[in-house]
Amino acid sequence: MSSFIKGTMWLAGAIFLVKILGFVNRMVIARLIGEEGIGLYMAVFPAFILTITAVQFGLPVAVTRSVAAAENDAQRKHILCTSLFITLSLAAVLTPLFWFLAPYLAENLFHDKRAVLPLYAIAPSIPIIAVSSIVRGYFQGKMNMKPAALSQLIEQVVRIGLIIVAGRLLLPYGIEYAAAGAMAAASAGELVSLLYLLSAFRSEWKKVRRYPGRRTSRPLFGELAETALPAVGSRLIGSGAWFLEPIVVVKSLAIAGLAANEAMKEYGVLTGYALPLMFLPSFLTVALSSSLVPDISESFSKKRFSNVAWRVNESIRFCLFSGGFATVVLFLFAEPFMLVMYHTEKGADLIQLMAPFFLLYYCQGPLQAVLQALNLSRAAMLNSFYGAAVKLLIIFILASQPSFGIRGTAIAIAASIVIVTLLHTASMLKAVPFSLQYGLYAKIGLLLVFTYLSAQAFLPFLTGNTFLYLGGGLAGCLLVYLAGAAVLGIFKKEDLSTVLFWRT
């Protein structure tokens, strides 16, 4: 089995567990602190992600790409040391700034003084994540996905355990203290994750430390910046849009007539209940995205364009096949999912509204990874900017209307997904000469319709018990989906031998 397949399998398995644990994490937080509390938590989280994006400076992707292309351990040491110097320098400046600006962000942007405590609690994790992201990028560049995967798993386990303890202890003091406890648990989880990464890196460091460092880093600065600057630009656009999103949503809902605490509850239902469930199936495509960057970078540098085209087409087939099943399941079982996980049906209508468009979202990550591998990070950055601008504009227009409310935000998210995915596809087609598989896309559409109609035929016989309806319905849909995929030729015989749709 090739290193690409092994790496993807490692990441897929670990990220699946990470996604499950992350979802459990959100579910625990939601149950502990309620809709308003999860709204407060999710409102301040984008500010933290924006700071992390600036600190990382796009270097994790650049490190992965440069390490994959490095010819010896001396070059790899130079890449590692230079990247750590840059990101730690940024962390030394931005972490105190984040702490200093926390009161201003809470009072003037989020219009909720309670947000200052969660912001303080998450600040210590900024330099920790700065270092761990570089080390993960190094491992991924060497196609060693195991340490990166296990570190994320460890981080989630520690976080969930501490959230349960901190949430119960701090909730009597107020929602803001419970939310701060959840943020502090995240910081502790990141620290334990970093300690594991450093222990796993010891053997690698023994190999590279004997090489002397270079006197100047200017050539490497240019090489890293070539990938890092567009990558950080793309991520800053996405993180900036996410940072502005709760601000625009709260203001728009206020125009629509909702009080600040009610607006926070509505935003909490969308971002704390609906979206985590919809992001959950992306664990496979996230693993694929991480593996694609070094693999396609190597093929493209050696001018193996046919291999690049084949890999991209197989990636799209895999994303559509796995994401298609997730889309049907989310649409059909939105209400029972909400009842089982949150004991409420709130958010089910938002899931059904966005589910068809999330099929494109499941393809978006691998497409962006391909653009980065082809050194088209600038195109990815511009595409993300257009999508973010459209999303914020639609949120302001629709969410401010009483007839739409928070559904306007859901529509805006769906529109942004469509725009960015189509633009990524167009940018990729300009760089690599290959044909899209329109016949496959038609078959996927037919398979989704067939699975949906079949479910409508047998689901009425499972009513009466929520768990029976959910368990039996999921099993029935899976059998119908796999049978339909086999008949239509979407699922091939060789896919069984390579598990994740790649030939050895």
Single out the residue of 119, 130, 125 nearest to residue 89, CA to CA: 130
Burial tier of 54 (Cβ tally within 10 Å: 0-12, 13-18, 19+): buried
| DSSP state string for 196-255 | HHHHHHHHHHHHHTTSPPPS--HHHHHHHHHHHHHHHHHHHHHHHHHHHHHHHHHHHHHH
Angle between helices 260-268 and 3-56 (to 10 degrees): 170
The tally of CA atoms less than 13 A away on the side-chain side of residue 493 is: 0
Single out the residue of 110, 132, 158, 109 nearest to residue 52, CA to CA: 132
pLDDT on residue 502: 40
Looking at residue 379, its amino acid is A
Inter-residue contact 105 to 117 (CB < 8 Å): no
Single out the residue of 411, 407, 482 nearest to residue 447, CA to CA: 482
- DSSP code of residue 257: T
Inter-residue contact 148 to 139 (CB < 8 Å): yes
Within 10 Å of residue 94's Cβ, how many Cβ atoms? 19
| DSSP state string for 335-389 | HHHHHHHHSS-TTHHHHHHHHHHHHHHHHHHHHHHHHHHTT-HHHHHHHHHHHHH
User: Distance between CA 291 and CA 8 in Å, rounded?
Assistant: 6
- In which residue are the tokens 């509204």 written? 353
pLDDT on residue 503: 40
Inter-residue contact 411 to 353 (CB < 8 Å): yes
* pLDDT tens across the length of the chain (504 residues): 445 555 555 556 666 677 677 777 777 777 777 777 777 777 777 788 888 888 877 778 778 777 777 667 677 777 888 888 888 888 899 899 988 888 888 877 776 778 888 888 888 888 998 888 888 888 877 777 778 778 888 888 888 888 888 777 887 888 788 888 888 888 888 889 889 888 888 777 766 666 555 544 556 666 666 666 666 666 677 777 777 888 888 788 888 887 767 777 788 888 878 888 888 787 667 766 666 766 776 676 676 767 777 777 888 888 888 889 999 999 999 998 888 887 788 889 999 999 999 999 988 888 888 887 777 777 887 888 899 889 999 999 998 888 888 899 999 999 999 999 999 988 888 877 777 788 888 999 999 999 999 999 988 888 777 778 888 888 999 999 988 888 888 866 555 444 444 443
The terminus-to-terminus CA distance of the chain in angstroms comes to 5
Burial tier of 280 (Cβ tally within 10 Å: 0-12, 13-18, 19+): middle
